[in-house]
Chains A and B, each alone.
Chain A
Amino acid sequence: MGITSLAACGSDDADTSSASGADGTPVEIQYWHTNSDANGRPAVQALVRRFNAANPGIHVTERTYDGYAALLENVQTGIASRRPPDVATVGYNSLNYVAGNFPVVPVSELVERYGDEGPLRAMPENIAALGQQDGRQIGLPYGLSLLVVFYNADLLRRAGVSEAPRDWAGWEAAARTIARSGGDPAINFQQYPGDNFISQALIAGNGGAMTQCVSGETKAAFAQPPAVEAMSWWAGLIRDRLALNVTADQSMQSFLAGRAATLITSIASRETLEQQARFDVQAAPFPTFGGKPQQLPAGGNTLMVFSQEDAKQEAAWKFAQFLDSRPSLETWVHEKGYLSPIPGVARDFTARNPMQAVADAELPAAIPWTSWPGRDGLAATQVVSDATDTILGGQKSAADALTPAAEEIDDTIAGASCQ
Chain B
Amino acid sequence: MSASRHRLGRLIGNAVLLAAVATTLAPLLWMLVTSLRPKQDVFDGALPSALTFDNFSAVLHSVDIGRQLLNSVIFAGGVTLGQLAIGIPAAYAFSQSRGRWSRWAFAVLLLTMSVPFVVVYLPNYILLSEVGLLDSHAGMILPQVASAYGIFLLRQHFQAFPRAIVEAARIDGASEWMVLWRVVVPASRSAISALAIFVFISTWNEYVWPQLVAGAPGMQTLSVGVAAFASEEAGTQWGSIMAAATIACLPTVAAFLALRRQIFNVLLEGAVKG
A159 located at the interface, meaning its Cβ lies under 8 Å from any Cβ of chain B in the complex: no
Tell me which residues from 55 to 93 in chain A have a Cβ below 8 Å from any Cβ of chain B: 62-67, 70, 73-74, 77-78, 80-81, 83
How many Å lie between the Cα of A249 and that of B229 in the bound state? 13
Which of A40, A257, A265, A278 is packed against the most chain B CB atoms within 10 Å?
A278
Q: Which of B63, B122, B232, B235 contacts A77 (CB 8 A)?
A: B122
A37 located at the interface, meaning its Cβ lies under 8 Å from any Cβ of chain B in the complex: yes
- The chain B residue sitting closest to A81, CB to CB, is B129
CB neighbours of B237 from chain A (8 A) = 38, 272, 275-276
- Mark B51-73 against chain A: 1 for CB-CB distance below 8 A, else 0: 00000000000111000000000
How many Å lie between the Cα of A269 and that of B237 in the bound state? 10
Establish whether residues B229 and A36, one from each chain, have CB atoms under 8 Å apart when the complex forms.
yes
CB neighbours of B102 from chain A (8 A) = none
CB neighbours of B105 from chain A (8 A) = none
B3 located at the interface, meaning its Cβ lies under 8 Å from any Cβ of chain A in the complex: no
- The chain A residue sitting closest to B230, CB to CB, is A249
Establish whether residues A258 and B126, one from each chain, have CB atoms under 8 Å apart when the complex forms.
no
B240 located at the interface, meaning its Cβ lies under 8 Å from any Cβ of chain A in the complex: yes
CB neighbours of A337 from chain B (8 A) = 234
A252 located at the interface, meaning its Cβ lies under 8 Å from any Cβ of chain B in the complex: yes
- What's the interface size class on B, roughly? 35 or more
Q: Which of B42, B126, B232 contacts A36 (CB 8 A)?
A: B232
- The chain A residue sitting closest to B240, CB to CB, is A38
How many Å lie between the Cα of A249 and that of B237 in the bound state? 10
Establish whether residues A64 and B215, one from each chain, have CB atoms under 8 Å apart when the complex forms.
yes
- Mark B112-137 against chain A: 1 for CB-CB distance below 8 A, else 0: 00000000001001100110001000
How many Å lie between the Cα of A377 and that of B215 in the bound state? 26
Tell me which residues from 119 to 163 in chain B have a Cβ below 8 Å from any Cβ of chain A: 122, 125-126, 129-130, 134
A55 to chain B, nearest CB (A): 20
Establish whether residues B234 and A269, one from each chain, have CB atoms under 8 Å apart when the complex forms.
yes
Establish whether residues A276 and B63, one from each chain, have CB atoms under 8 Å apart when the complex forms.
no
Establish whether residues B228 and A36, one from each chain, have CB atoms under 8 Å apart when the complex forms.
yes
How many Å lie between the Cα of A37 and that of B226 in the bound state? 11
- The chain B residue sitting closest to A38, CB to CB, is B62
- The chain B residue sitting closest to A39, CB to CB, is B234
A191 located at the interface, meaning its Cβ lies under 8 Å from any Cβ of chain B in the complex: no
- The chain B residue sitting closest to A270, CB to CB, is B234
CB neighbours of A336 from chain B (8 A) = 234
CB neighbours of A277 from chain B (8 A) = 40
Establish whether residues A64 and B217, one from each chain, have CB atoms under 8 Å apart when the complex forms.
yes
Tell me which residues from 280 to 319 in chain A have a Cβ below 8 Å from any Cβ of chain B: none
Establish whether residues A77 and B126, one from each chain, have CB atoms under 8 Å apart when the complex forms.
yes
B209 located at the interface, meaning its Cβ lies under 8 Å from any Cβ of chain A in the complex: no
- Mark A259-277 against chain B: 1 for CB-CB distance below 8 A, else 0: 0000001101101110111
Establish whether residues A272 and B234, one from each chain, have CB atoms under 8 Å apart when the complex forms.
yes
Task: Count residues of chain A with CB under 8 A from any CB of chain B.
Answer: 40
A395 located at the interface, meaning its Cβ lies under 8 Å from any Cβ of chain B in the complex: no
Establish whether residues A276 and B42, one from each chain, have CB atoms under 8 Å apart when the complex forms.
yes
A34 located at the interface, meaning its Cβ lies under 8 Å from any Cβ of chain B in the complex: yes
Q: Which of A34, A62, A258, A273 contacts B235 (CB 8 A)?
A: A273
Q: Which of A66, A253, A266, A268 contacts B43 (CB 8 A)?
A: A253
Which of B62, B224, B234 is packed against the most chain A CB atoms within 10 Å?
B234
CB neighbours of A253 from chain B (8 A) = 43, 236, 238
A232 to chain B, nearest CB (A): 29
How many Å lie between the Cα of A222 and that of B237 in the bound state? 35
Q: Which of B41, B63, B134 contacts A38 (CB 8 A)?
A: B63
A341 to chain B, nearest CB (A): 17
- Mark A109-140 against chain B: 1 for CB-CB distance below 8 A, else 0: 00000000000000000000000000000000
Establish whether residues B42 and A256, one from each chain, have CB atoms under 8 Å apart when the complex forms.
yes
Establish whether residues B234 and A268, one from each chain, have CB atoms under 8 Å apart when the complex forms.
yes
How many Å lie between the Cα of A278 and that of B125 in the bound state? 45
A62 to chain B, nearest CB (A): 7
B166 to chain A, nearest CB (A): 46
How many Å lie between the Cα of A118 and that of B63 in the bound state? 34
CB neighbours of B44 from chain A (8 A) = 278
B188 located at the interface, meaning its Cβ lies under 8 Å from any Cβ of chain A in the complex: no
How many Å lie between the Cα of A343 and that of B47 in the bound state? 47
B231 located at the interface, meaning its Cβ lies under 8 Å from any Cβ of chain A in the complex: yes
How many Å lie between the Cα of A77 and that of B229 in the bound state? 24
B227 located at the interface, meaning its Cβ lies under 8 Å from any Cβ of chain A in the complex: yes
Establish whether residues A275 and B232, one from each chain, have CB atoms under 8 Å apart when the complex forms.
no
List 11 contacting pairs A-B, 8 Å CB cutoff, sorted by A. A36-B232, A42-B62, A63-B215, A63-B216, A65-B215, A249-B236, A252-B235, A257-B42, A265-B235, A268-B235, A276-B239
* Interface residues of B, Cβ cutoff 8 Å to A: 39-44, 62-64, 122, 125-126, 129-130, 134, 211-212, 215-217, 224-225, 227-229, 231-240
